[in-house]
Each structure stands twice: as C-alpha cells, then as structure tokens.
Amino acid sequence: MKLICSKSNLQKGVNIVSKAVPSKTTMPILECILIDASANEIKFTANDMELGIETKVEGEILEKGIIAVNAKTFSDIIRSFPDSDVIIESDSNYQISITCEKSHFDKISGKSGEDFSYLPYIEKSDYISLSQYTLKDVIRQTIFSIADNDNNKLMTGELFEIHDNELKVVSLDGHRISIRKIELKDSYPDRKVVVPGKSLQEISKILSGETEDEVHIFFTSNHIVFEFDTTTIVSRLIEGEYFKINQMLSTDYETKFVINKKELLSCINRATLLVKEGDKKPIIFTIKDTNMEIRINSQLGSMKEEIDIEKEGKDIMIGFNPKFLIDALRVIDDESVTIYMVNPKAPCFIRDEEQKYIYLILPVNFNSAVN
C-alpha cells in the first residue's frame, strides 16, 4: 500500500475515528486504526465493539492495500509533522513507513487488516433525517442527566422515541429527568431505542453543528447508525424496556413562577462558592408573592440573595441539589424560565409552554441546612 495525503486530512480522519478506540482493552487489534485503500477511496475505521466509526480521507492512492496501525502511535507521528504532504507505505510484512518532507519513520509495526473488527453491515432503509445543529443541541441539552455508573444500564443511555413527526429524547439518573422534543420535517413509523450516552457524547464532538448539514439516523433491532458528511458511526443499542416516564410527569402544580434565567443561574453559581467539592449542601428557595429568597449554609459560611419573580399560587420553601439546577438552566436558551412546584417533597418542573423541553428535578431534605 502507498498513499499520499495532506497532514490536515490525515489529522482530521484520525481525530474522528480515534473516538472509537478504547482507552483500555485486552485485544491489541482494538487499539488500532484500519487504513483501507483497497478500493478507490481511503477509509479510516476504529471499532471498540460497542461504537464503530468510519470516515473517508481525501488523498491519492499510488498502490492499493489495507493495514491496521496502532492508533496512538500513528496519531502522535502525524501530529508531529509540519503542514505538508505525508507518504504512507506498507510492505507484505505489515511494516509501515511514514514520510513528511525530511522526516522519515520506518519499520512501524502494523497488523493484517483481516484481523480487524469491521463495522457490522446495516440495512439502511429505516431512517430519520435532521440537521447536525439540532442533533448536537439535543445531546447537549439532555446528556448531563444520564447515570455515570452501570448499576442500571438503561440509565447510562438516552431514549430516542419517534412518533409521527416528533423525536423525543429522554435521559434520567434517578434524581432528575431531561426531555427534549424536536419536530421533524417528515412523519416516520413509531420507534423506541436506547442509545448509549458514551456513543452520543462522542458523536456530539464530531458533528459540525451547522444547520445546513444533515445527519441521517438509521435503526435496526441492535444498532443505530449516524451518517453525515463523509463519516459513518455505528453504535450498539442498550437492550431493555425504558422507564415509563409519562407516569412521572404531571401538569398539576400549587406554585408557578417565572424568573430571569440568567439571574437565577448567576445566583446559584454564587451560592455554590461556599460549597466544598463533594459536599452535599442544598440550596433553599423561599418563594413569596413577588420575590424568591435563595440561601445556602455551609461550613465555609452562608449566603442569601433575593430575585424578583412573577408568581401564581402558594408560597413554598423547598431545597435542591444546586448542581442539578445549574445543569438544567445552563442548557436552556430562553431568557426567562417557568418553574412549577407542588410541595417541598414533590419534583419541580422547568418547562416551556409548548413542552419542547421539560426538566424534572427531585427536591432534597433541607432541615439540617435551616438550623
């Protein structure tokens, strides 16, 4: 095999597929990138058996071939080069040489392409289409509330539910729920799948975020495929039936108030300056007719601040984990938010009128903080 590619094209391809190279594995072949120039195009592929990524790299094929090379070694070498053309060659003994201007690496150990775990073949018939901007935004607005441990596998993923022309994305971790609803251009058959959060985080890093650039999402019983630009990403789905979240959602409330989002977020951020990392001190809201008092007590001191609100319903005192509020408020783009509460032990809801976004947050006991 012999190829000529620009350093920038190689670097871009390596950066994309490296997101599917596992940090730890007992299988050396999974630490590799497959360089496939056996046809009339150059393709890079990586696959950790849960997430697989393939992307096309622009360049010239002088001799066709295919070889697997250690991802870290190859990436480090390419990154070290000046911005110039790079020549990559391999021989029948799977030895690789890489040349850029006056720099020459030789006898880099490769592996047979036949040993590589290729991406599974997916019948691309059942799909939806949306902009890369929308998908990237939806992931940003929900991914923070997946669970970060494997105690319940379903909580480490996000529900993608399609009904007619609506895509609903849901994440939860036992303390909060995040929901985003997107209107699609067309209607599609009903479908529910649970996508690993890790896969979505990596996909989000690759998406351009441009409104004109589309992404096609294909479904099978075991996999989901994201196809955009010159890249294909295949992820295994998480098996099992997702939680019945509709039973957890309610439109009933005793207290409803509208508040400036930026002011509320800034105030909570100030309050957390008095909370040591790992310390679970609640932030306490005391909601009255025209204002809300926010306060926090910790070993480092106490803080109190008032914010103007527009309120309907009863006065209420309620406590929350400040991080959960910060996570939700940070991804809401509206200037003001509407918050609904029932009582100090029931979840609060942050949602817009059309319910395009819903954030459910469970309150916490604040007795110890009051005393």
pLDDT digits (tens, 9 = 90+) for 25-58: 889 999 999 999 999 999 999 999 999 999 999 9
Say if residue 96 is in the same domain as residue 149. Answer: no
Say if residue 267 is in the same domain as residue 201. Answer: no
Instruction: Report yes or no: 188 and 164 within 8 Å, Cβ to Cβ.
Output: yes
Classify 71 as helix, strand or coil. Answer: helix
Among 122-131, 169-178, 275-284, the range of highest mean pLDDT: 169-178
Instruction: Tell me the C-alpha distance between 69 and 110, whole Å.
Output: 5
Instruction: Tell me the C-alpha distance between 41 and 31, whole Å.
Output: 23
Say if residue 108 is in the same domain as residue 136. Answer: no
Say if residue 240 is in the same domain as residue 267. Answer: no
Q: Is the pLDDT of residue 301 over 70?
A: yes
Report the pLDDT value the prediction gives residue 368, as an integer from 0 to 100: 44
Alpha-carbon distances, residue 338 vs 132, 217, 252, 253 (angstroms): 28, 33, 14, 12
Residue with the two structure tokens 């996508």? 195
> In the listed set 115, 150, 173, which residue is the last one of a domain according to the structure?
115
Number of domain units in the chain? 3
CB atoms within 10 A of CB 206: 19
Angle at CA 150, nearest 5°, toward 149 and 155?
85
Does residue 59 lie in a domain region?
A: yes
Report the pLDDT value the prediction gives residue 369, as an integer from 0 to 100: 41
Report the pLDDT value the prediction gives residue 288, as an integer from 0 to 100: 93
Residue with the two structure tokens 């012999």? 2
Does residue 162 lie in a domain region?
A: yes
> Any idea which of 125-129, 198-202, 219-223, 304-308 has the lowest mean pLDDT?
125-129
- Closest C-alpha among 244, 252, 242, 246 to residue 348: 252
Q: Is 0.75 topped by the overall pTM? A: yes
Does residue 122 lie in a domain region?
A: no
Does residue 37 lie in a domain region?
A: yes
Q: How much is the average pLDDT of 318-343? A: 97
> In the listed set 70, 90, 115, which residue is the last one of a domain according to the structure?
115
Q: What range does the domain containing 17 cover?
A: 2-115
Q: How much is the average pLDDT of 189-196? A: 96
* H or E, element range at 289: none
